[in-house]
């Protein structure tokens, strides 16, 4: 399409639009090569209990260092990966890398808790995610209960009926399932309780408004109550201030994640934090090397 318009016969796009389309095509072809060129890395953002501040795990977040552009935000490249289907091989790499890393940490005796991996809608839609996960767990030797998969609410809204069995199979494996970015989609509440979920992650949008207006506080309180009512663990994401943390704690939110506690960090830094947490907290027992 871009070619046609540059041939000069007619103009299909405004020049600016053309540029955007070209940018996107370039990004896609660069993304296509990123895996083999080993330009991806995972960072880990710690998750803590609100009650006593114990480190209970981390969310694995994909990082891409483009050879010329430097770091590219997931907000920019994940949608391109989803639209192009590249999220399938990239998502498989993320899963394998997170599980391999988690297993290595357990072998080092680190109390890493549970590692969460984001999965895109397309990975579920394909219908073989449970098999893929089972194979990765077998290959890496990571116990299923160490893995959590995060599924964005925006995806669940569109497809849950069809993919319910897929999710159920993942739960049967022993993997935890979290609904991510909760509150941004339009999940009907009657639908929500039928999903085999273990955790609800309250979207950052609500946390941001907590201290700003009464409505933000009311909605957050209601979402915590809803999650607990359905038997889910409730985790707040994007917690930046002490005020937000205090509010969430007062209203019984179980877990937190956010820049106010810890930013996403390279694997080595997360390992260091786990080691420190274990030393500084005798109640938090490290794993025996080689055991789950
Ligand atoms: P998400 O799954 O909701 O991940 C949380 C995002 O919020 C991360 O952004 C994290 O860095 C950011 N965050 C955490 N705490 C705070 C805070 O206190 N303040 C603010 N302002 N931000 C905070 P990130 O790493 O840029 O990722 C963005 C999104 O990209 C993720 O949102 C997720 O939807 C997607 N993503 C990242 N890695 C993967 C992946 O491996 N696979 C898939 N399918 N999607 C991924
Ligand atoms: Mg997530
Ligand atoms: Mg999230
Ligand atoms: Mg989010």
Q: What is the mean pLDDT of residues 237-247?
A: 96
pLDDT band at 1 (very low <50, low <70, confident <90, very high): very low
Q: pLDDT tens digits, residue range 122-168?
A: 999 888 999 999 999 999 999 999 999 999 888 876 666 778 888 99
Taking CB atoms within 8 Å and a gap of at least 24, the contacts of 67-74 are 67/37, 67/39, 72/27
- 238 CB less than 6 Å from ligand 1? yes
Distance CA 149, CA 286 (A): 23
Helix (H, G, I), strand (E, B) or coil at 223: helix
Give the ligand whose atoms come closest to the C-alpha of residue 201. 3
Residue 110 near residue 278, CB atoms below 8 Å = yes
- Output the six-digit token pair for 255: 């877990």
Distance CA 249, CA 218 (A): 14
79 burial via Cβ count (<10 Å: 0-12, 13-18, 19+): middle
CB atoms within 10 A of CB 6: 13
Q: What is the mean pLDDT of residues 82-94?
A: 97
Query: What is the CA angle 60-65-66, rounded to 5?
Result: 140
Q: What is the DSSP string of 141-197?
A: T--GGGEEEEEEHHHHHHHHHHHHHHHHHHHHHT-EEEEEEETSS---HHHHTTS--
- 156 CB less than 6 Å from ligand 1? no
Question: Which sign does the torsion angle of CA 10, 15, 20, 24 carry?
Answer: positive
- Output the six-digit token pair for 66: 């483009």
More confident residue, 162 or 184: 184
pLDDT band at 193 (very low <50, low <70, confident <90, very high): confident
34 burial via Cβ count (<10 Å: 0-12, 13-18, 19+): buried
**Closest residue by CA, ligand 1 atom 30:** 74
Q: Would strands 176-182 and 147-152 be described as parallel, antiparallel, or unpaired?
A: parallel
- Output the six-digit token pair for 91: 């998502």
Residue 168 near residue 187, CB atoms below 8 Å = no
Helix (H, G, I), strand (E, B) or coil at 60: strand
| Average pLDDT of the chain to the nearest whole number | 89
Mutating to test ligand 1, I would choose from 31, 45, 71, 74 the residue with most ligand atoms within 8 A of its C-beta, which is 74
**Closest residue by CA, ligand 1 atom 21:** 238
Nearest to 44 by CA among 89, 102, 90: 102
Mutating to test ligand 1, I would choose from 48, 61, 94, 265 the residue with most ligand atoms within 8 A of its C-beta, which is 61
Question: Which sign does the torsion angle of CA 78, 153, 45, 214 carry?
Answer: positive
Q: pLDDT tens digits, residue range 269-290?
A: 999 999 998 776 544 334 444 4
């Amino acid at each position: 399409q871009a070619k046609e318009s540059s041939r000069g016969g007619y103009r299909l796009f405004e020049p600016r639009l053309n540029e955007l389309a070209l940018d996107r095509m370039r990004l896609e072809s660069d993304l296509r090569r990123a895996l083999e060129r080993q330009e991806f890395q995972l960072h880990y953002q710690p998750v803590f209990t609100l009650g006593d501040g114990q480190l209970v795990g981390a969310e694995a977040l994909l990082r891409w260092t483009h050879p010329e552009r430097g770091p590219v935000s997931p907000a920019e490249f994940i949608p391109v990966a989803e639209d192009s289907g590249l999220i399938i091989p990239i998502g498989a790499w993320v899963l394998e890398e997170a599980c391999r890393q988690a297993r290595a940490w357990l072998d080092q005796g680190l109390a890493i808790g549970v590692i969460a991996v984001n999965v895109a809608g397309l990975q579920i839609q394909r219908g073989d995610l449970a098999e893929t996960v089972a194979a990765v767990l077998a290959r890496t030797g990571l116990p299923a209960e160490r893995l959590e998969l995060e599924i964005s609410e925006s995806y669940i809204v569109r497809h849950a009926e069809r993919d319910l069995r897929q999710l159920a199979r993942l739960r049967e494996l022993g993997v935890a399932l979290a609904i991510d970015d909760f509150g941004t989609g339009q999940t009907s509440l009657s639908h929500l309780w039928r999903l085999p979920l273990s955790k609800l992650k309250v979207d950052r949008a609500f946390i941001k408004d907590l201290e700003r207006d009464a409505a933000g506080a009311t909605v957050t309180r209601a979402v915590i109550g809803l999650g607990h009512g359905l038997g889910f663990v409730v985790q707040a994401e994007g917690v930046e201030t002490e005020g937000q943390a205090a509010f969430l704690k007062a209203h019984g939110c179980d877990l937190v994640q956010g820049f106010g506690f810890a930013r996403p960090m390279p694997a080595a830094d997360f390992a260091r934090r786990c080691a420190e947490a274990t030393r500084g907290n005798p109640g938090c027992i490290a794993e025996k090397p080689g055991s789950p």
